[in-house]
């Protein structure tokens, strides 16, 4: 197997386009005309082009010496681990690409290892999307090892993978040791119980994360306690998404113990949990009583509220003009934005027929 960083046996290749055409001929794939048309641009969006591993190899060969592209989007191209291997070889030599999207490419465990090892050598990538690649439980250790010494990547998307108990432990270690990462998306994984608690222990000592998405992980109330404890000590997180995590009023109450001591969090999303108006009242009472609270946006959009909640919210909003609470209720729907009443389709048809 030829290394993509080795010199191709072609004559008089003077441009990236010519090199790409020669590489396509060598690996026997059809060239992608989109790539040829956009040479010289700083952003190349080749999502959904069906490249496959060999198409990824031809592209990697062409990009070894490219000095223009800073954003490379390759989501949904069936690259597999082989394609990832070719691209990561390229990224050991290319120091121009800063933003890379390899989402939904069936990279699996072998691909996770390739990408993580590349991060130990690459000095340019600042944001990396790896969503939906079927990374297994123990693949998280590759990223934990890589981010222990990677001081360049600030945004990482590992959503829609299969991290659970051991994965949560590795990811907790990752954010505990890393001192650069600012945005992390772990939504749609399986971080429950032991794994989620271990992750929260890492969050407790993390000093760089600003935006964290933990939605759709099925935390439950047990993890809410660990999250609350982490929020007592974490002083950098400003945006936290906990939507769809099976938290009840009890879990919300545990989470509020941390909110009482936190003066950095501005956005808290708790939509589609098993919360009632009781939990909603607990939340806004904490905001009201905590003078140093920085909460500006609270999303509990599925919670049915009562008149007491509305009155208390109006009182708080008078004191904190920047506060926005998105919520449904039996008292008139959205407070922040009222929805128009839906028309009756049958009546519309009858009117049209009568004209």
Q: Quote the CA–CA distance of 77 and 48 in Å, as a whole number.
A: 5
Alpha carbon separation from 185 to 80, 214, 226, 233 (Å, rounded): 22, 7, 19, 21
Per-residue pLDDT of the chain (355 residues; tens, 9 = 90+): 457 655 444 434 458 999 999 999 999 999 999 999 999 999 999 999 999 999 999 999 999 999 999 999 999 999 999 999 999 999 999 999 999 999 999 999 999 999 999 999 999 999 999 999 999 999 999 999 999 999 999 999 999 999 999 999 999 999 999 999 999 999 999 998 999 999 999 999 999 999 999 999 999 999 999 999 999 999 999 999 999 999 999 999 999 999 999 999 999 999 999 999 999 999 999 999 998 999 999 999 999 999 999 999 999 988 888 888 876 555 543 433 333 345 556 555 555 555 5
Which residues are bridge partners to 269 per DSSP? 241, 299
Does the pTM exceed 0.75?
yes
Q: Please tell me the distance from the alpha carbon of residue 169 to that of residue 165, in angstroms, as a whole number.
A: 7
Strand partners for 211: 183, 239
The angle that helices 80-91 and 52-63 make with each other, rounded to 10 degrees, is 0
- Domains of the chain (ranges plus CATH)? 244-355 (3.80.10.10)
Q: Which whole-number Å values give the CA distances from 161 to 19, 31, 70, 267, in the listed order?
A: 35, 31, 26, 25
List the structure tokens of 276.
């009632």
Q: DSSP code of 74? A: -
Compute the distance between CA of residue 323 and CA of residue 280 in angstroms, rounded to an integer. 15
Residue-wise pLDDT for 127-155, tens only, equals 999 999 999 999 999 999 999 999 999 99
């Amino acid at each position: 197997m030829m290394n993509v960083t080795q010199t191709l046996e072609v004559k008089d290749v003077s441009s990236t386009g010519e090199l790409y055409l020669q590489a396509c001929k060598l690996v026997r794939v059809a060239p992608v005309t989109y790539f040829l048309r956009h040479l010289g641009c700083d952003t190349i969006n080749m999502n959904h082009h069906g490249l496959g591993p060999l198409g990824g190899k031809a592209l990697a060969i062409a990009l070894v010496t490219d000095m223009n592209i800073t954003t490379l989007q390759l989501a949904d191209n069936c690259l597999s681990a082989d394609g990832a291997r070719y691209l990561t070889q390229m990224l050991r030599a290319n120091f121009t690409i800063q933003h890379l999207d390899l989402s939904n490419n069936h990279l699996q465990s072998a691909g996770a290892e390739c990408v993580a090892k590349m991060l130990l050598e690459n000095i340019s990538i600042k944001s990396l999307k790896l969503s939906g690649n079927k990374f297994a439980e123990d693949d998280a250790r590759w990223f934990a090892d890589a981010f222990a010494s990677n001081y360049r990547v600030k945004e990482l998307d590992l959503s829609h993978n299969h991290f659970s108990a051991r994965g949560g432990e590795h990811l907790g270690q990752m954010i505990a040791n890393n001192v650069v990462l600012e945005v992390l998306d772990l939504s749609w994984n399986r971080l429950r119980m032991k794994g989620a608690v271990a992750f929260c222990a890492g969050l407790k000592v993390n000093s760089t994360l600003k935006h964290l998405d933990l939605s759709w992980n099925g935390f439950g109330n047990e993890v809410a306690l660990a999250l609350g404890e982490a929020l007592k000590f974490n002083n950098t997180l400003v945006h936290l998404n906990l939507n769809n995590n099976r938290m009840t009023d009890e879990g919300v109450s545990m989470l509020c113990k941390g909110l009482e001591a936190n003066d950095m969090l501005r956005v808290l999303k708790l939509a589609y949990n098993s919360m009632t108006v009781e939990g909603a009242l607990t939340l806004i009472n904490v905001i009201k009583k905590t003078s140093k609270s920085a909460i500006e946006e609270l999303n509990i959009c599925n919670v049915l509220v009562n008149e007491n909640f509305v009155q208390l919210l109006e009182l708080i909003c008078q004191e904190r003009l920047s506060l926005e609470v998105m919520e449904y209720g039996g008292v008139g729907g959205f407070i922040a934005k009222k929805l128009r009443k839906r028309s009756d389709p049958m009546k519309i048809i009858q009117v049209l027929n009568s004209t």
